């Protein structure tokens, strides 16, 4: 969950499932979704390959998050990942959304 940013995803290729609050949406190429700040959300890829474009507003803290993430030697352990999210105004709310 983002405390201070709204988020928009645009599906460029593939299929994805998004959850926003209690609602789920399946999206394909050309579809988009708005995910408001302070509403828990998640997504997973349903197709074997895919491509997303995503936007954050305001973007500053997210730009800092991606810079910090790029400095890591690999994916962070869950506790370190949660700390990195928290340091950039996000909160891990629960298990990830998984494909059916």
Report all structural domains of the chain as residue ranges with CATH numbers, in order of start: 1-58 (2.60.120.10), 60-92 (no CATH)
d(Cα 100, Cα 92) in Å, to the nearest integer? 21
- Residue 85 pLDDT class (50, 70, 90 cuts): very high
Q: Which tens digit of pLDDT belongs to each residue from 15-66? A: 999 999 999 999 999 999 999 999 999 999 999 999 999 999 998 889 999 9
Backbone angles phi, psi at 16, to 5 degrees: -140, 155
Three-state DSSP at 60 gives helix
d(Cα 67, Cα 44) in Å, to the nearest integer? 23
- The pTM for the full model equals 0.86
- Residue 8 pLDDT class (50, 70, 90 cuts): very high
- Flag whether pLDDT at 4 surpasses 90: yes
Q: Return the pLDDT at 99.
A: 87
């Amino acid at each position: 969950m983002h405390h201070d940013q709204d988020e928009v995803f645009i599906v460029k290729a593939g299929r994805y499932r998004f959850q926003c609050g209690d609602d789920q949406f399946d999206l394909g190429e050309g579809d988009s979704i708005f995910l408001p700040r302070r509403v828990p959300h998640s997504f997973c890829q349903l197709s074997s390959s895919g491509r997303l474009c995503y936007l954050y507003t305001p973007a500053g803290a997210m730009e800092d998050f991606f810079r910090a993430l790029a400095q890591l030697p690999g994916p962070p352990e869950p506790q370190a990942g949660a700390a990195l999210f928290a340091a950039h105004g996000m909160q891990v709310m629960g298990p990830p959304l998984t494909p059916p």
